[in-house]
Amino acid sequence: MTDTNPPITFDADVSDDAAVAMQVDILDIQAGVVGVTRLREWGHAALAVQPGEKVLDVGSGTGSEVRAMAELTGPTGEAVGVEPNPKLRAVADQRTTTTREWTRYVAGNAYELPFEDGTFDAVRCERVLQHLDQPQRAIDEMARVLKPGGRLTLLDSDWATAIVHPGDPEVARLCMEAMLTATPNPHSGRRLSGQVVLAGLTVADMGSEALIWPADIVTGMLLPMFVSTAQQAGFITTEQAARFATELQAAAHSGELHMSVTMFCALGRKPD
Ligand SMILES: C[S@@+](CC[C@H](N)C(=O)[O-])C[C@H]1O[C@@H](n2cnc3c(N)ncnc32)[C@H](O)[C@@H]1O
């Protein structure tokens, strides 16, 4: 169990069918976790998309939030998802039915959005910036494609706030260090408001929720990946990995397991 689980990556160039299927599974699972649904609702309320508006989701994955915004724009508006991975765009396309006529998914990269300046009334970007080496460059691009007075929401985790309990605290700390090292922008959550300001926008509000993973998802999927990533990177030994995994499996059975991370959402507004 501890040496056969590749770390999940959301790099733009993931093309292996099994790896993409794993990405889709994880995105679908996260979409059903209470903390994510609550912060998404907060973000959509803050963005306040109106009928007839033109809106964008950057790094749109399976397209769930593009479709949520399309319901709000209605057919007099347009909802666009930018997603570099063609296999995720295909999943998003396939899942788009009722809003099909005013929804589209386009190939593109957050660093060079394929749109003119001032195209969109509202832009959102969720759990993408943590995967980027140059998050400020991406946020500057989002600010560029917003109309004057337009709104932006950025939603991301801050991995230094992750909690794994119980189990050997030193092994937990080392696993977390491996996770921080493997993530290009692991402290994304705490940086969001400052980056919105650096992009020339004002911060109008901030929201936050903890993503608390259900125990069956931890034991079935996250724990094996979490532990094997740390082991493969040399942060913990095979023995430590096996013992830690056993401790957390037991905690899941007894009801003591807790694994969470804090997510933040910044609402920015472009000056008129
Ligand atoms: C964790 S997923 C989040 C997907 C979606 N935003 C959600 O919350 O369900 C990260 C997404 O960012 C995309 N991505 C990775 N690098 C990107 C880049 N440079 N520009 C735009 N999107 C990127 C990935 O392909 C993936 O769809």
Could you list the mean pLDDT of each consecutive 10-residue stretch along the chain, which spans 272 residues?
57 89 94 97 98 98 98 98 97 98 98 98 98 98 98 98 96 95 96 98 98 94 91 96 96 96 98 98
Q: Is 152 in the pocket of ligand 1 (CB under 6 A)?
A: no
Confirm whether 9 is domain-assigned.
no
Q: Is 199 in the pocket of ligand 1 (CB under 6 A)?
A: no
Q: Return the CATH number at 133.
A: 3.40.50.150
* Structural domain containing residue 189: 17-269
For ligand 1, what atom is nearest to the CA of residue 30?
Answer: 9
CA of 129 to the centre of ligand 1 (A): 8
Q: What is the pLDDT of residue 13?
A: 87
From 13, 112, 128, the mutation candidate for ligand 1 (largest count of ligand atoms within 8 A of CB) is 128
CA-proximal residue: ligand 1, atom 4 (nearest)? 61
Confirm whether 104 is domain-assigned.
yes
CA-proximal residue: ligand 1, atom 23 (nearest)? 59
Q: What is the pLDDT of residue 67?
A: 98
Confirm whether 82 is domain-assigned.
yes
Q: What is the pLDDT of residue 5?
A: 54
Confirm whether 144 is domain-assigned.
yes
Give me 270's structure tokens: 């472009």
Confirm whether 149 is domain-assigned.
yes
Give me 167's structure tokens: 């189990």
Confirm whether 6 is domain-assigned.
no
Kindly provide the residue ranges of all beta strands, DSSP E only, lying in the chain, ordered along the sequence: 54-58, 78-82, 103-106, 120-126, 146-165, 202-212, 258-269
Q: Is 189 left (phi over 0), alpha (psi -120 to 50) or beta?
A: alpha
Q: What is the pLDDT of residue 193?
A: 98
Q: How many domains does the structure of the chain reveal?
A: 1
CA of 60 to the centre of ligand 1 (A): 6
Indicate the Cα dihedral angle 185, 191, 194, 197, nearest 10°. Answer: 50
Cβ atoms of residues 26 and 8 within 8 Å: yes
CA-proximal residue: ligand 1, atom 10 (nearest)? 128
CA-proximal residue: ligand 1, atom 8 (nearest)? 126
Q: What is the pLDDT of residue 4?
A: 44
- Contacts of residue 99, Cβ cutoff 8 Å, sequence gap at least 6: 67, 70, 71, 79
- Burial level of 167, CB count in 10 A (0-12/13-18/19+)? buried
